A and B are shown apart, each in its own frame.
Chain A
Amino acid sequence: MSLETQTYTITRADLVRYAEASGDHNPIHQDEQVAASVGLPGVIAHGMYTMALAARAVETWFPAAEVVSLGCKFTNPVVVPADGGVEVEVAGEATEADGLTTVALTVTCDGQKVLGMPKAVIRA
């Protein structure tokens, strides 16, 4: 079953709020110069921010479900510009087996996949 694609916008202000809430104050998520010094193309979103959006999409599709497992690789950085924001799209495909629903996700930014094999298993 294909699920309705969710679109989210990430801004620098979101990253500041997320750093505060999560405790992840890595400056590569705030500071261009530090990001460049470790070879990144710019200020990038926390991988966990993008993963949180993937989880948010699952919660939108299956509001009452309990999440059994969630995982992904962080394969491409989501570069967040200083002005405006960047859009992230979360698409999903659900299959059921043995009382559990597996949601295979596709998370893209500018048409490029940013998470590797993102997947949630839920008890719907």
Chain B
Amino acid sequence: MPVDQSLVGRVFPPTRPFAVSADHVAAFVAATGGEYDGGPAPATYPIVLAFDAMNAFLAAESLDLFRIVHGEQRFNYERPVVPGDELTATLTVSSLRQIGGNDIIGTTSEITDASGALVCTTSATLVHRGAA
């Protein structure tokens, strides 16, 4: 069933604040084969927040995660993420189109810190594969 066009422009509730710890950054770095020696988190780390926001969006729309394939991801940073940050992501559905039985969903998530300041804006294209 195609995703409802009225979703475009909808802003989903902010995710629960996530406390960035040095241990979690180290685990993220280790998972991609690196070694964390303190300092800012890696550039793709904000996906942790964006993914949380996407999961809430998928649950709200009853979409299955296993049908989602990632099409594109972009990050624009205001500043690096550092341990001690408390971050929240707010997801907006920015576009939606149907191609060959798949839904192509564009989302933008704004990641803000505890003071409300913007840390990173990240946009994703999600391909929702229709049932065969």
A binds B: yes
Interface set of A (CB-CB < 8 Å, partner B): 8-9, 14, 17-18, 20-28, 34, 37-40, 46-49, 51-53, 55-56, 58-59, 66-74, 116, 120
Inter-chain contact B55/A23, CB cutoff 8 Å: yes
A56–B34 touching, CB < 8 Å: yes
Known A38-B67, A67-B80; judge A47-B32 contact (CB<8 A). Answer: no
Bound Cα distance A74, B126 (Å): 10
User: Quick one: which of B40, B75, B125 contacts A70, CB cutoff 8 A?
Assistant: B75
- The answer to whether B71 and A74 touch across the interface, beta carbons within 8 angstroms, is yes
Assess the A38–B129 pair: CB atoms within 8 A.
yes
Assess the A74–B76 pair: CB atoms within 8 A: no
A49–B74 touching, CB < 8 Å: no
Give me 4 other A-B pairs in contact (C-beta within 8 A), A39-B132, A67-B75, A68-B77 excluded: A8-B33, A22-B28, A47-B73, A48-B73
A22 with B31, Cβ < 8 A, contacts A68-B77, A70-B44 known:
yes
Contact B77 A56 (CB under 8 A): no
Closest to A120 in B: B43
A to B CB contacts below 8 Å, 17 in the list: A14-B33, A17-B31, A20-B31, A21-B48, A22-B47, A24-B51, A26-B65, A28-B69, A38-B66, A38-B129, A40-B69, A56-B34, A66-B80, A70-B77, A71-B75, A74-B70, A116-B72
A-B contact count (CB 8 A): 108
CA distance A20 to B27 in the complex (A): 9
On whether A55 and B43 interact (CB within 8 A), knowing A24-B51, A38-B66, the answer reads yes
Check A67–B71 contact: CB distance below 8 A.
no
Which of A20, A49, A72, A120 touches B32 (beta carbons < 8 Å)? A49
B9 within 8 A of A: no
Which residues in window 37-56 of B have CB below 8 A to A? 40, 42-44, 47-48, 51-52, 55
Instruction: Tell me the complex Cα distance, A68–B121, Å.
Output: 11
